[in-house]
Structure 1
Amino acid sequence: MPMGLGTSAYPWGMGDSPAVSILLPVRDAGAWLGQCRASLERQRVADHEIVAVNDGSTDGSAELLDAWARADRRVRVLSPGRVGLVAALNLGLAACQAEIVARIDADDVAHPRWLERCLERFGADPAAAVVSCRVRFFPRSRLGRGFVLYERWLNGLVEHGEMERERFVESPLPHPGTLYRRHTVLHMGGYREGEWPEDHELWLRLFEAGVRFAKVPEPLLFQREHGARLTRTDPRYGTRAFLRLKARYLVRGPLAGGRPAVLWGAGPTGRRLASELAGNGALLEAFVDIDPRKIGRRVRDLPVLPPESVPALAADGAVILAAVASRGARRLI
């Protein structure tokens, strides 16, 4: 019998609580909700609940959710009106009964073994508070080369140390597809509203607190790419917002205690990051660039130095930050 059918096979699903709570915010997702529902109904871990938060949908999603709840007692629907994604996530998180919470979006599709494999990873690594998986974006015909490269980079980060090392590049794990311990996230304050991507901010906060991350090296979540995704339409997921967030946590982390920063890259990305870092009180020492036209000049009243200067700068305690947008340039640095 598949693990999770009937009585819970997991230590978290004891008493009246299920093994896992699936947190599902919904905003005008009627076109895709049926596929998401079907994928959750196929989960090999049947000992789960679904906490769906209808964030003021006007496209018929509310009716679909209500019909789902009538057909499946594991489904609970919260209807707070239009409150926004972060508030919807926090309302849903507070309503979850299980210790393990699994995130999915209404336009995504889960592999039948998504919950099973991630719960097994928790069992194999009891110190982990966050467990994610590899993802595959679809439909492939809509993906540009940049998105394909991002998927490859994201799926290449499996071990805790790899995700921690790369956390300032982009979000090192996807939000949909990730499971976490409810008490850990609640203890850290839940999701925070701000001018930044709420998931990446949460991961940075957890890494800062020393929380352990893990990832199942299998594609168990299929994330739909379309023009209406918040990542495409909301400025909180734009380049400037990511730089603002990174600067905030760089100053609290690697640059804490007044360690000076040297930005490798005196182009637009480097200058924007320098502006955000300065706004957060960081001490900026210099730029580094390979462009001979920039070397010897001053940018933001800081010298632009050649790459040969980096060993001495690092030896003096400076933190070298790669701030380049060209594909492959960061790895070359």
Structure 2
Amino acid sequence: MKAVAKILSVAPFAIEPMALNELPAVPKVSIAIICFNYGRFLPECLDSCLAQTVPADQIVVVNDGSTDDTAQVLDGYAARFAQILPIHQLNGGICVATNAALAACTGEVVLLLDADDAMAPERIEKVLDALRRRVDGHLPGWTHNSMQRFSEGQPHLGHAPYYAGGRAPQGWLAAETLMAASCPVLSLTSGLAFRREVLEAIGLLDADRMMYQDLQLCTAAALISPSAWIPEPLTRYRVHGASATKGSMVSVEQIKAMRRRAARFDVWLRAQLERRQTGASALWRPLDDQGGYLWLCFLERWLSGEGKDLGLLRRALRHPDTRHGPRQYRIYYYGSLLLTRGLFVSYSRLIFGASPLKSVLRRLLGRA
């Protein structure tokens, strides 16, 4: 408890959860959807939004400069359903589109959804129930729910995200987030919902194209309000060619992009803390004291042909973030000690890519 108190309070700075009032008996609910060239999936997405046991008051869909039939599909639905608000804009990237969608949402509760995914009929109902139940003595300001992964012809590819031991994080996560310099919530966009007060406290997302909107939202929200976990798979998460990774962490270009993203995110997150209280960014550890960033720096040098910087690798492997982090990360990191550069790249493709062998490994590890 002393360690937690030290993280949450570094004199004269302190992090306290936002005080929230009870939701109205019948709160207004918005759904925010981003669509780029997913016109073929949009009908299933919108039909799931329209089939909720608790109806949405507003469904905001941002067409982010699509070049397929997204505009026609969206306008056709908007002509038939008054609650659908279409926004057509030039392509600006996912964070620009998310900012536009959230700015247009007027609901007291906002659910996020990607246009290639769909919702279970009870999602709004379950989110509202979760937001009304106190967690750690506080009303939660946001929720994250389990998602059912599926693909064309394969309706049951397992649930995501995966949490070791099935124990998903919830409650007031500020201490854990600050201690690890990362949010323990791993949910993607389509599994997230927020009370308006939390979104207003977060403000605009960094709109750079390399940034991820779900990472920004989860980390900032964890420092503002407790979260509630909903174990039921309330979202159907589509796995297809555009969403399945082609293999990250396997090229110098990808590693450089990840390191730049980490540095940009660090600046954005510190600004979030400063908005809450001047000087509070001191609570967020510097990049060179974050195990994941040290690992990226090592990997970039190694894959660039500079050889293994064993001193930097030793710092990354001995860092508390690594030693106390997920076991699969430790296994991956330690592979760099034993493998040549070429073999390590192949190893990375197996771990981060999409292949039949990976599906077999997921089933063997109980993560299918």
Give the TM-score normalised by structure 1: 0.68
- Evaluate the alpha carbon distance shift between residue 167 and residue 120 of structure 1 in structure 2; reply closer, same or farther with a 3 A threshold: farther
Please name the residue that 1:157 is paired with. Answer: 168
SS at match of 1:185: helix
Identity %: 22
Matched to 2:142, the amino acid is V
Q: Return 5+ residue gaps in structure 2 as ranges.
A: 1-22, 271-280, 303-307, 335-368
Question: Which structure 2 residues correspond to residues 234-245 of structure 1 after superposition, within 5 A?
Answer: 241-242=257-258, 244-245=260-261
* Correspondent of 2:215 among 191, 200, 203: 200
Question: Which structure 2 residues correspond to residues 206-245 of structure 1 after superposition, within 5 A?
Answer: 206-207=221-222, 209-229=223-243, 241-242=257-258, 244-245=260-261
- Note if contact 1:22-1:51 (Cα within 8 Å) is conserved in structure 2: yes
Please name the residue that 1:320 is paired with. Answer: 320
- Evaluate the alpha carbon distance shift between residue 150 and residue 177 of structure 1 in structure 2; reply closer, same or farther with a 3 A threshold: closer
By percentage of residues, which structure has more strand? 1
- Note if contact 1:197-1:242 (Cα within 8 Å) is conserved in structure 2: no
Please name the residue that 2:143 is paired with. Answer: 131
Question: Which structure 2 residues correspond to residues 34-53 of structure 1 after superposition, within 5 A?
Answer: 34-53=43-62
- Cα separation, 1, equivalents of 2:25 and 2:129: 12
- Cα separation, 1, equivalents of 2:25 and 2:255: 39
- Cα separation, 2, equivalents of 1:227 and 1:33: 16
- Note if contact 1:43-1:113 (Cα within 8 Å) is conserved in structure 2: yes
CA shift at 1:233, angstroms? 9.7
Question: Which structure 2 residues correspond to residues 40-189 of structure 1 after superposition, within 5 A?
Answer: 40-125=49-134, 127-139=139-151, 151-153=161-163, 156-160=167-171, 164=177, 168=182, 172-189=186-203
CA shift at 1:103, angstroms? 0.4
SS at match of 2:40: helix
Please name the residue that 1:3 is paired with. Answer: none
Moved more, 27-36 or 126-135: 126-135
- Cα separation, 1, equivalents of 2:59 and 2:25: 16
Please name the residue that 2:298 is paired with. Answer: 271
- Evaluate the alpha carbon distance shift between residue 153 and residue 65 of structure 1 in structure 2; reply closer, same or farther with a 3 A threshold: same
Is 2:343 the counterpart of 1:329? Answer: no
- Note if contact 2:161-2:187 (Cα within 8 Å) is conserved in structure 1: no
- Cα separation, 1, equivalents of 2:313 and 2:247: 37
- Note if contact 2:146-2:159 (Cα within 8 Å) is conserved in structure 1: no
SS at match of 1:135: strand
Deviations 1:10-59 (A, max 9, x none): 61746xxxx21000111111111111122112101114210111111221
Matched to 1:88, the amino acid is A
* Correspondent of 2:24 among 2, 7, 11: 11
By percentage of residues, which structure has more helix? 2
- Cα separation, 2, equivalents of 1:224 and 1:325: 25
- Cα separation, 2, equivalents of 1:270 and 1:260: 10
Is 2:41 the counterpart of 1:32? Answer: yes
CA shift at 1:118, angstroms? 0.6
- Evaluate the alpha carbon distance shift between residue 12 and residue 55 of structure 1 in structure 2; reply closer, same or farther with a 3 A threshold: farther
Give the TM-score normalised by structure 2: 0.62
- Note if contact 2:146-2:160 (Cα within 8 Å) is conserved in structure 1: no
- Cα separation, 1, equivalents of 2:237 and 2:262: 24
- Evaluate the alpha carbon distance shift between residue 108 and residue 263 of structure 1 in structure 2; reply closer, same or farther with a 3 A threshold: closer
Please name the residue that 1:190 is paired with. Answer: 204
- Note if contact 1:86-1:191 (Cα within 8 Å) is conserved in structure 2: yes
- Evaluate the alpha carbon distance shift between residue 44 and residue 134 of structure 1 in structure 2; reply closer, same or farther with a 3 A threshold: same
CA shift at 1:120, angstroms? 0.7
CA shift at 1:78, angstroms? 1.1
Matched to 2:128, the amino acid is L
